[in-house]
Amino acid sequence: MKMQKQQFRIGQLAKAVGVERFVIRFWEKEFGIKSHRSPGGQRFYTEKELATFHLIKELLYDKKFTIEGAKQELKNKKNAKVIIASSKTTMNDQELVGLPEDLKAKILSLQSQLIKLKELL
């Protein structure tokens, strides 16, 4: 079963980032972030874009970058290798084949904990 990627409307994204919607629209223009649009023109954002907006906020608000400095930092980070956390919480049997038993047990334990955490969210 394939999991669908989560999408956020602008209000949800703004709340998650901790800024107003107009700030998201401003940053979208300033940083050249393309939102996906519904046939009715409503903006939708992916988890990757959510992470980008969190980074922009951190750069501007916490690290006191200028907009130009933040643009340069984002450009530098795009060129660097980035690891993005997956929303996947389980592994199928084929993915566990060939792993040592102690590692399989740890993975299954972590899987169980992740599923419980996901249910709490």
For residues 3 and 13, the answer to whether their CB atoms sit within 8 Å is: no
User: Which is more confidently placed, 99 or 8?
Assistant: 8
CATH placement of domain 7-79: 1.10.1660.10
- C-alpha triplet 47, 25, 32: angle, nearest 5°: 70
Amino acid identity, residue 41? G
For residues 27 and 61, the answer to whether their CB atoms sit within 8 Å is: no
Percent of the chain residues past pLDDT 70, beyond the cut: 81
What's the whole-number average pLDDT of the chain? Answer: 84
**Domain spans, the chain:** 7-79, 88-121
N-terminal to C-terminal alpha carbon distance within the chain: 21
Per-residue pLDDT, averaged over 22-49, amounts to 93
Q: What pLDDT does residue 1 have? A: 46
- pTM of this prediction? 0.62
pLDDT band at residue 77 under the 50/70/90 scheme: confident
Asked if residue 83 has pLDDT above 50, the reply is: no
Asked if residue 87 has pLDDT above 60, the reply is: no
